[in-house]
Amino acid sequence: MNFSERTGRKKSQSDSAGSVVELLQSLVRIPSVNPDGNPGTEKIGEKACAEFVGAFLERSGARVEFQNVMPDRPNVIGKFPTNAAGKPRLIFAPHTDTVSIVGMTIAPFDAELRDGKIFGRGAADTKGPMAAMLWALWEMREEIPKLSHEIWFAGLAGEEAGQHGAKAFVAAHRADFALIGEPTSCDIVYTHKGAVWLTLHTRGVAVHASTPDCGENAIYKMNDAIRWLREDLAPELARLNDRVLGAPTINVGTISGGSKTNIVPDFCEATVDIRTIPSQDTQKLIDQIRTHMSYAEVSAIYSHPLRTDASHPLIHALEKSGGKCTGAPWFCDAAIFAEAGIPAVAAGPGSIAQAHTNDEWIAIDELRRGVDFYRSFLSNL
């Protein structure tokens, strides 16, 4: 019996999911590429995906709202009924956007089923965990009102760049715990690194390359900046250590400058990725870099590290469901919830090793394990 038959409704296009596998295929086939940078497609934004998820949530018994975050990029929020007021609120919160499709070696939106895997952009990060969450909520829809917690689902926009959806959600809604959907092999990421993304600009004076002493070389200035990052700041960061996450890291990701070989360059730009640990003061680090690089323009965006108390009762419930506590070098929306005072962890099926890859996939057995994991978690509340 498929989904529409169980609901007793006439089947429509959005009712096509008869299993978690079909649900994930439907989600992958809806492009929701984050438009930041080079998306590689004109099919960008989360609106269509959010609307599909909203329809599924409504059929699962939730009251659905759309929270406008950016034009055509809403959060989709499903509020499940409860039999008593005042219960603590638990949020299931995957993100609905994906990264670019540039460089993919498979059809990104075909959701091909092959060799026991589902292929496509978002299959692992994070439409696989989202499908498993939604299917577990669908299967538990009759029990949800009687649980010890009020259950909400929040499909968040913009996680892959800027985390705008999570920031908008926590600004408007209270919660007592957030379970973020990410591919963690169903382990419980209760701590992860933060990120500082720097953009460095150096300026020079352009002159003919035959008389370089008459100008000022912006690339040489940038070379000084990179040398300091690598030879001074990186060893300083390496001396710090977190018992779970290890040391902070630094990477110069891109560099560009100049206009022609025979012209002294008057501009150069580089981008830098620094992964931080909970004991660090992010703003102090940025101020240190700006103070040293007085010859450069330094802009920074950042996401804080995460460290949720591993003794939290809902973490114990996740452990009873088969997950084990671990840390991660990446960052996610859990940190946004934690910064707002909401305990949060990330957990879901799939492996981060398949996220953002040119042939992204999730194993069907792992996807089904995710459904069992989330169902068990709900049952353990």
In this structure, what DSSP letter does residue 212 have?
G
In this structure, what DSSP letter does residue 15 have?
G
Neighbours of 361 (CB within 10 A): 22
pLDDT in tens, the chain (381 residues): 344 433 333 344 445 569 999 999 999 999 999 999 899 999 999 999 999 999 999 999 999 999 999 999 999 999 999 999 999 999 999 999 999 999 999 999 999 999 999 999 999 999 999 999 999 999 999 999 999 999 999 999 999 999 999 999 999 999 999 999 999 999 999 999 999 999 999 999 999 999 999 999 999 999 999 999 999 999 999 999 999 999 999 999 999 999 999 999 999 999 999 999 999 999 999 999 999 999 999 999 999 999 999 999 999 999 999 999 999 999 999 999 999 999 999 999 999 999 999 999 999 999 999 999 999 999 999
Q: 0.75 cut: is pTM over it?
A: yes
Say which residues have a Cβ less than 8 Å from residue 243's Cβ, sequence separation at least 6: none
Do the Cβ atoms of 161 and 39 come closer than 8 Å?
no
Q: What is the dihedral of CA 134, 32, 355, 300, to 10 degrees?
A: -120
Task: Report residue 226 as tokens.
Answer: 């990179």
Neighbours of 232 (CB within 10 A): 11
Task: Report residue 27 as tokens.
Answer: 């989600």
Neighbours of 71 (CB within 10 A): 8
Name the nearest CA neighbour of 285 among 193, 222, 219, 166: 193
Neighbours of 273 (CB within 10 A): 14
Task: Report residue 299 as tokens.
Answer: 């802009």
The neighbouring-strand residues paired with 205 are 216
What are the helix (H) ranges across the chain?
Answer: 3-7, 20-28, 47-59, 127-139, 164-172, 218-228, 234-238, 282-292, 313-320, 334-339, 364-379
Domains plus CATH for the chain? 3-192+306-379 (3.40.630.10), 194-303 (3.30.70.360)
Please report the DSSP string for 215-260 in residue order.
SB-HHHHHHHHHHHIIIIIHHHHHT--BTTTBS-EEEEEEEEE-S-
